Amino acid sequence: MDARQFSASRPQHHVFRLLFPIGLAVLSLWVINFEFPRVVSDHGWWDFGAFVASGRAAATGLDPYGIYPPLTPHVVFPGFEAWNPNLNPPISALLFQLFDITDLATSLRVWWGISLVCYLAAVILLLRRYSEGVEAILLGIWAFALAGFWDTLFLGQIYTPLVLATVVAWLLLERGKLVQAGILIGLLVSMKPNFLVWPVLLFLAGCWRPPLVAAATAAVIAAIPLAVFGPQIYLDWLSLVASDGDRAVFLTNASFAGIAARAGLPLLGTVLSALLLLSLAAWAVWRRPGTMDVSSFALVAALLASPLGWIHYTLFLLPVLLHHWQRPWTWPVAVALTIPVPLVLAQFGASAWLQLTVGSVYGWSLVLLLLGLIANDRQTSYPPRQGVLR
């Protein structure tokens, strides 16, 4: 591109940068109007019911990873059927007993309130750091239209407090507060082990303090259920996780495993996940990238390389998207992640091709985000030993 073409394209790009958040906010308002009635309707207990059942079982000496109708949800779609028991690590068997202090309806409403406050805090922290003025308001509307946010509320899931922990850890890393960041990363890993990718890549890139603190934090948390229930609870959990591969094909699974399962090539998902993790490990050791570059790749890889990277996990990508918001490759990802879950689940029963394309829109959006990060990294020159924080 010569100088005249470059100068001519700049105003067009600038105008689009101004108009895109407006269009995104308009779309987001439609999504919020679509999703709100679905969430507040009387739609059953779903995952919240599974969590309550798990806590009750643990409190009475039963297997917290068992199936306990009617609280454990039974999911049925054309060509798909599965039970959804609690899949969280053993510490959850203690935490979920708190959900059973009062009646389920009250407990769910209280949990919704906690979830909303945590998510609002996470969004405000990120917007204060990465945006301002009218754009911040427009992006705030978009953040509350994300499919992962509404389906988290619909299911009564536990993601938003962990999203807040992730956002605070991200901002602490950016400010060089490594011990505090490590504690929060350890909390995240203790509840969602697929995010172990984050401290491992930081360690390989030479930023060793947060990973060590995270490992110590996660170890302390893991020891609590071991002391209370004994080793059997870990055997029960690992057995359930190992037997849960059939759910990879579910359309809200945005990982490589989900895309590959819908293509009829489940082994390909394992291969792609392994290649991604090994490539990122080699990249971290060889390039010694900056802490935030490592964190961006780690959070994306934690979803794509996971056997089950649900749409709800895309909320953890908020810091990645807003950190890179000035780069246009984030914008189609932002749009795709607002597509309501019912519109995607409607592809169950459709042709295999539609399920692999339209039905896998969440997964393909993460692939696009990964490609954008790779393109950005190729244009970045890291000074020697950048990101090595003792």
Partners of 76 in the beta sheet?
Answer: 81
> Does residue 3 fall inside a structural domain?
no
> Does residue 35 fall inside a structural domain?
yes
Whole-number pLDDT of residue 15: 65
Residue 56 domain boundaries: 18-378
Whole-number pLDDT of residue 10: 55
> Does residue 115 fall inside a structural domain?
yes
> Does residue 298 fall inside a structural domain?
yes
Is 288 in contact with 381 (CB distance < 8 Å)? no
> Does residue 9 fall inside a structural domain?
no
Q: What is the count of structural domains for the chain?
A: 1
Residue from 39, 29, 22, 253 nearest 145 by CA: 29
Whole-number pLDDT of residue 323: 97
> Does residue 389 fall inside a structural domain?
no
SS3 77: strand
Partners of 77 in the beta sheet?
Answer: 80
Could you list the pLDDT tens digit for every one of the 390 residues in the chain?
333 333 344 555 566 677 899 999 999 999 999 999 999 999 999 999 999 999 999 999 999 999 999 999 999 999 899 999 999 999 999 999 999 999 999 999 999 999 999 999 999 999 999 999 999 999 999 999 999 999 999 999 999 999 999 999 999 999 999 999 999 999 999 999 999 999 999 999 999 999 999 999 999 999 999 999 999 999 999 999 988 878 899 999 999 999 999 999 999 999 999 999 999 999 999 999 999 999 999 999 999 999 999 999 999 999 999 999 999 999 999 999 999 999 999 999 999 999 999 999 999 999 999 999 999 999 887 776 544 444
Rounded-to-integer distance, Cα 379 and Cα 343, Å: 37
> Does residue 5 fall inside a structural domain?
no
Whole-number pLDDT of residue 5: 39
Rounded-to-integer distance, Cα 147 and Cα 350, Å: 21
